[in-house]
Structures are given as structure tokens and as C-alpha cells.
């Protein structure tokens, strides 16, 4: 399955609108980040309400989306930046797994902070490129 199909399926599994069907690659990544943030919020809420099943579903979706973002990286074109992003995505996935396993809100927020920083950089790039 190609990255585009993976990303589209991950997004569709988390959203109900049709924006993904006509999205550019930049917009697709932006939507994935939005869905990732939504699921991080769901995980936080479930953690605060002591709802482990809901927390697990939300964290699993986060990890799935992070996997799609990571698989979209082109190591040849992106070079060191792509490698660094890949490592950050791995860190987030591992941290989210730990947060879910140990019900650790601090770990969840740590991964969320990294995601927010990457998302902000992505959006800034889009502004610079006018996409």
C-alpha cells in the first residue's frame, strides 16, 4: 500500500468528512497532524476520567498516524532532517506506548509537545511555500 493510501486510510478512520479525497500531499499531512492532536486530546481525557479502553483506542490511533507520518519520509531527499524526524516520530510512539501502559499523563503530554512542535514547523513551511 502506498503512503498516500495509508495516510488516506488513517485519516478516514479518524474523520468523517471528505477533505482527504481531494487533499494535496501538504494538506494530507496537515490533516494527519490535526487528527493526531484530536486523538491526543481524547487520550488525555480518557486518562483523566480513568477510562483505560478509550485511552488505549486513542493512543493506538495516535501511534498509527505517527507511523503514517514516519513512513512518508523520504530519507534520500530529506537527508539528515528526515532522519531526525524519523527519530522524533519513534520517540513519540515509544513515549505514547509507555504513557498508555503506565497511565502516565506526563509522558502523554511529553509526546504531545513534540508533535505540536513538528506540526508548527510543518505549518510554518506551508506558509513559506504558500500551499
pLDDT tens-digit readout, 11-64: 555 554 577 778 899 999 999 999 999 999 999 999 999 999 999 999 999 999
Specify the fold of 3-15+24-129: 1.20.120
Tell me the three state secondary structure of residue 57.
helix
Domain range annotation of the chain: 3-15+24-129
Q: What is the pLDDT of residue 7?
A: 58
Hunting for cell 530529506 — which residue is that?
78
Instruction: Supply the pLDDT for residue 122.
Output: 95
Of 127, 126, 6, 5, nearest in space to 66 by CA = 6
Amino acid at each position: 500500500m502506498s503512503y498516500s493510501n495509508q495516510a488516506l486510510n488513517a485519516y478516514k478512520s479518524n474523520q468523517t468528512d471528505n477533505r482527504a479525497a481531494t487533499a494535496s500531499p501538504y494538506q494530507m499531512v496537515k490533516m494527519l497532524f490535526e487528527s493526531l492532536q484530536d486523538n491526543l486530546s481524547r487520550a488525555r481525557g480518557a486518562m483523566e476520567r480513568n477510562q483505560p479502553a478509550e485511552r488505549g483506542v486513542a493512543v493506538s490511533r495516535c501511534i498509527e498516524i505517527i507511523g503514517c507520518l514516519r513512513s512518508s519520509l523520504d530519507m534520500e531527499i530529506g537527508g539528515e532532517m528526515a532522519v531526525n524526524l524519523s527519530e522524533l516520530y519513534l520517540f513519540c510512539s515509544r513515549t505514547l506506548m509507555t504513557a498508555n501502559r503506565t497511565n502516565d499523563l506526563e509522558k502523554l503530554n511529553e509526546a504531545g509537545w513534540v508533535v505540536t512542535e513538528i506540526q508548527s514547523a510543518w505549518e510554518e513551511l506551508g506558509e513559506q511555500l504558500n500551499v
